[in-house]
Amino acid sequence: MIVKIIQILIRFIFLLAVQVLVLNHIQWSGYINPYVYVFFILMLPIEIPNWLLLLTAFFTGLVIDMFANTGGMHAAACVFTAFARPGVLRLIAPRDGYEPETNLSPQVMGVKWFITYVSILILLHHLVFFYVEVFRFSEFFVTFYKAILNSIITIILIVLGQYLFGRSLKRHERIVG
């Protein structure tokens, strides 16, 4: 149990550092700014209680808000993503359901399942984030385009990162375990 908590904490620190130190300083053509820190919420264990999931998402968004000076927009989008996560997991659940302590990775759940899961939740997060940022419907289509474009880039980065780092972590677990 302590090992799992340490792994989750390391993932949090790593994704936070990548987001704050690298990705927050990248803006391609004024529209694209990937938010890969959301992957932390997506990769939390399935058996986490909903109240703890929402609290963790709020804290994650709040930390990003402090570094990005965005006044709660990330926290709002993260809490919405955490709220939607159990429903999305039920929606795309395998026929037999989830095993306890299932690792939500493409190696375990399959590539199609993983991309579907990540895509739905990243899109929801980005839609909420960008509409809260604009906070008016007069720029509905521009905001929608921005959310879709950022979602695609974020999904690509998450899937690439999962394949680059996920496999090396699996090999490390086999060597250690």
Q: Are 117 and 88 in contact (CB under 8 A)?
A: yes
Lowest mean pLDDT among 18-32, 48-62, 132-146: 18-32
pLDDT tens per residue across span 115-156 = 999 999 999 999 999 999 998 888 899 999 999 999 999 999
pLDDT tens per residue across span 91-126 = 998 888 888 777 888 888 888 999 999 999 999 999
Mean pLDDT, to the nearest integer, of 58-80? 94
Q: Is 30 a member of any domain?
A: no
Q: Is 74 a member of any domain?
A: yes
Residue 167: pLDDT band (50, 70, 90) is low
Residue 52: pLDDT band (50, 70, 90) is very high
Q: Is 171's pLDDT higher than 60?
A: no
Place of tokens 């839609």: 127
Three-state DSSP class for residue 28 = strand
Q: Is 51's pLDDT higher than 50?
A: yes
Count of domains in the chain? 1
Q: Is 17 a member of any domain?
A: yes
The pLDDT value given to residue 57: 95
**114/54 Cα distance (integer angstroms):** 21
Mean pLDDT, to the nearest integer, of 3-26? 86
Place of tokens 């199609």: 112
The pLDDT value given to residue 174: 43
Q: Is 78 a member of any domain?
A: yes
Bridge partners (DSSP) listed for residue 28: 32
Q: Is 133 a member of any domain?
A: yes
Q: Are 10 and 1 in contact (CB under 8 A)?
A: no
Q: Which of 18-32, 71-85, 90-104, 126-140 has the highest mean pLDDT?
A: 71-85
Instruction: Give the single-character DSSP code of 37.
Output: G
**For residue 172, what are the domain limits?**
2-23+35-176
Q: Is 28 a member of any domain?
A: no
Q: Is 29 a member of any domain?
A: no
Three-state DSSP class for residue 81 = helix
Q: In Å, how far from its chain's centre is CA 172? A: 23
Q: Is 69 a member of any domain?
A: yes
**102/44 Cα distance (integer angstroms):** 10
Question: In this structure, what token pair is assigned to residue 94?
Answer: 């395998």
Q: pLDDT exceeding 70 applies to what percent of the chain? A: 92
